Amino acid sequence: MSLELSARLARPSDHRSLVNLCKRSVGFDDYAIQRLKSVVEDGGLFVVVTRRKIIAMSNFTSAIDGTGWLSMARTHPDYRGLGIAQFMQNEIGDYAESKKIHTLRFWISSTNTSSLRAARKGKFNPVADFTHVSAHLRYRKNRFRGCRCKKLNESQLQKSNYIPELSKSKYLEMMNGYFSYKNTFARLGANVLESIPGRELYFSKDIGFILTSPRHEHNGWQSDFSPLLGSKRVIFSRICEEARSICVEDLGGYIPFDNSIRKFANDSGFSVDPWGIHCILFEKEI
């Protein structure tokens, strides 16, 4: 099949077509449907068009380390296997270069064989493996005890003082130096650590983690975490403890793809999400 393809940023008037694309490519329960309006408003959702029909989409945002992050990739089932994903990646790559962004990343489930092939054809390289876990937290508003870790603020020690300790992090080592932050992945260094608000960083002499500020979504107050330092036997319960103290109801995070770490997360009330059992992070320099 010969196609004339073009790519552009999505417009509010595309909403119905985008919803139909999500339903056809994933299903009526596709999480992306709830986020379409906001990502279009943010100005990063790219669409591929042929004969005035939207047949694919992918969202582009910037990660905290200045790299480009791709997500919500969808291709209409009637147009799979025709190089649409590679076309989209190339178009977004050109856009990223125009913004002086020279690294692109995204993750793919290990079971998504067609997307894995497309990533490799697009010269993206696998760089880390991880699992996504989540927990629904129950709390009593008058019984917050707080965490034994401390939040950092601008009047406290420079965040970069923690870099020597973080260089020994087993979590970062197992994820090849990457960590998750607000649904993207970045490499953790002094400059990146300085960019994270102090209220989202928690450290004690033996524990360190990121816990993002709660955001209200349709299911309630949600937050994301990323483990940095500390024993796998206690870190997940400490994260839950602090999350409860700031009224988080649903907590999720990416952890190394490791049976032992998953077990301790499970012991603290986390469950592995079916869509995130084994996720592979891909990266490409452009």
pLDDT in tens, 7-19: 999 999 999 999 9
pLDDT in tens, 49-105: 999 999 999 999 999 999 999 999 999 999 998 999 999 999 999 999 999 999 999
Overall average pLDDT of the 261-283 stretch: 97
pLDDT for 139 beyond 70? no
Provide the CATH number for the domain formed by 6-101 in this structure. Answer: 3.40.630.30
Domains 6-101 and 131-283 share a fold: yes
User: Which CATH code of 3.40.630, 3.40.50, 3.30.40, 1.20.1440 fits the domain covering 131-283?
Assistant: 3.40.630
In whole angstroms, give the CA distance from residue 105 to residue 71: 9
Overall average pLDDT of the 251-265 stretch: 97
pLDDT for 151 beyond 70? no
User: pTM of this prediction?
Assistant: 0.89
pLDDT for res 217:
80
Domain ranges of the chain: 6-101, 131-283
pLDDT for res 159:
62
Q: Percent of the chain having pLDDT more than 70?
A: 92
Out of 70-79, 215-224, 243-252, 263-272, least confident range: 215-224
